[in-house]
Amino acid sequence: MGGLRPDHKTIARFRKDNKNILKNILKQCVRLCIDLGLIEGNTLFVDGTKIRAGASIQNTWTKDRCESYLKGVDQYIESILSECDTIDEQEEDHPSLVNLQEELKDKEYLKSRIQGILKELREQGRESINTTDPDCVKVKGRQGIHAGYNGQIVVDEKHGLIVHSDVVNESNDINQFAPQIEQAHQTLGHPCTNACADAGYSNTPELKKIDDQHIKVIVPSQKQAHGRAVKPFDKEQFRYDEPNDRYICPQGRPLTYTFFCKNRNHKVYQITDKSLCLECPYFGLCTKAQYGRRIRRLVDEDLKLKLQHQYDQELSQAIYKLRKEKVELPFGHIKRNLGVTAFLLRGLEGVKAEMSLLASCFNITRMINIIGVPLLMAKLMS
């Protein structure tokens, strides 16, 4: 820094005015790590964490909240108008009338603002919107429900260095596996060999995008993650008859293809004769539905079964055991050591830039711990 000590406002202004450039800092840091042989890019771990936004949850509005508030405001405005009429008859310049008219203006302004929020919710098809930071969403963390973002990182196996960071305004990780791995590939310049994440990323269509690139995907299903035992009448106990595209129940009765569910991308199989289910001695255990037992099969069911078997392999289990110490450590450092409890910037572009800075700080600290300051400074000077 050459002895320079910029004011905190100067730093804040610089950060605000250079969001797009700051997002590329991590990429430069990663390429330096690759040159130093600190990142290999063979096995990548993905994880996410909820980070509060610079906004209050009280400023988050849903359609129900808007409609409820508008109803209350309308009633309040009517009561003010009625009171104004009463005072107006008595004395026009009465102080109470002036106060009521000011209050009426405030309520009408609030009403028009809420109507604008409601219109925006309908036009954008969003469930909620925060008036302080419109890009943030309602997220649920260990500290409760708050306005925030979902921070994402991709970490390399060798030294646990961050290869890629991102921030999304989605409350879960279900759609993030493929996008985060592919962006990490762009930074690395080559695809990885193994891609690993926890059950929060278990979304077969997303996992398929990476599996199609001949990358080994190590992600447990929800059932595998929770160690749930297979029950007597679970789907796994029904045999799939592929040539006839049907399932056979444990009692030997067929469930034939009935319809396709577009929303969830799966086929539905149902017992041919519902009376067979109703008269079965296991009715009530297998199903309680009056139309009989149904089985749902994903379009990519074969891939789902393949990935479940792949996760159970001995080598996959060894890789998955490394996941916590590799990918959760950076979040621990950022939140505990750096004391990041919330983003300081607002808007998606701002928090992406801030996350890139935080990830770069973590990588630099790791680089110093691994190779020391002299070697790092020599590399930077060259």
- The Cα angle at residue 324 between residues 323 and 326, in degrees rounded to 5: 65
If you search the block for the tokens 């060999």, which residue do you land on? 193
Return the pLDDT at 92. Answer: 54
Which pLDDT score is estimated for 88?
53
More reliable by pLDDT, 159 or 63:
159
**CB burial class (10 A; 0-12, 13-18, 19+) of residue 104?**
middle
Answer whether 43's CB lies under 8 Å from 194's CB.
Answer: yes
Tokens describing residue 351:
């928090």
d(CA 369, CA 358): 17
- Give the pLDDT mean for 228-239: 88
33-47, 77-91, 216-230, 267-281, range with the lowest pLDDT: 77-91
CB neighbourhood size of 63 (10 A): 15
Taking residues 176-195, what's their average pLDDT?
95
For tokens 């017992």, name the residue: 271
Q: Which residues contact 6 (CB under 8 A, 6 or more apart)?
A: 14
The answer, yes or no, to whether residue 111 has pLDDT greater than 80, is no
Contacts of 225 (CB under 8 A, 6+ apart): 198, 199, 202
Q: Which two tokens stand for residue 52?
A: 């509060």
Residue 87, token pair as written in the block:
């005072």
pLDDT at position 354, please? Answer: 92
Task: Report residue 227's pLDDT band, with 50, 70 and 90 as the boundaries.
Answer: confident
d(CA 197, CA 141) in angstroms, rounded, equals 19
Tell me the pLDDT of the chain averaged across its residues. Answer: 87
With pLDDT > 70 as the criterion, what percentage of the chain qualifies? 90
**Residue range 93-116: mean pLDDT, rounded:** 65
Q: How many CB atoms lie under 10 A from the CB of residue 193?
A: 14
Residues 6 or more apart in contact with residue 294 via CB below 8 angstroms: 255, 258, 268, 269, 270, 271, 287
Model confidence pLDDT, tens digit, residues 334-374: 999 989 989 998 999 999 999 999 999 999 999 999 989 98
Scanning the structure block, which residue is given the tokens 């042989």?
A: 37
User: Has residue 217 got a pLDDT over 70?
Assistant: yes
Please count the CA atoms within 13 angstroms of the CA of 243 that sit on its side-chain side: 0
Instruction: Report pLDDT for 14.
Output: 86
CA atoms of 357 and 25, how far apart (whole Å): 7
**pLDDT value at position 104?**
62
Q: What would the mean pLDDT of 260-285 be, rounded to a whole number? A: 89
Contact predicate 77/109, CB 8 Å: no
pLDDT in tens, 14-35: 888 888 888 788 998 899 899 8
- Inform me whether the pLDDT recorded for 98 exceeds 80: no
**Whole-number pLDDT of residue 93:** 53
3-state secondary structure the chain: CCCCCCCHHHHHHHHHHCHHHHCCHHHHHHHHHHHCCCCCCCEEEEEEEEEECCCCHHHEEEHHHHHHHHHHHHHHHHHHHHHHHHHHHHCCCCHHHHHHHHHHHHHHHHHHHHHHHHHHHHHHCCCEEECCCCCCEEEEECCEEEEEEEEEEEEECCCCCEEEEEEECCCCCCCCHHHHHHHHHHHHCCCCCEEECCHHHCCHHHHHHHHCCCCEEECCCHHHHCCCCCCCCCHHHCEEECCCCEEECCCCCEEEEEEEECCCCEEEEEECCHHHHHCCCCCCCCCCCCCCCEEEEECCHHHHHHHHHHHHCHHHHHHHHHHHHHHHHHHHHHHHHCCCCECCCCCHHHHHHHHHHHHHHHHHHHHHHHHCHHHHHHHHHC
Asked if residue 96 has pLDDT above 60, the reply is no
Fold type of domain 13-55+135-226+305-381: Nucleotidyltransferase; domain 5 (3.30.420)
Q: What is the pLDDT of residue 199?
A: 94
Q: Please state, in angstroms and rounded to a whole number, the distance separating the CA atoms of residues 145 and 210.
A: 32
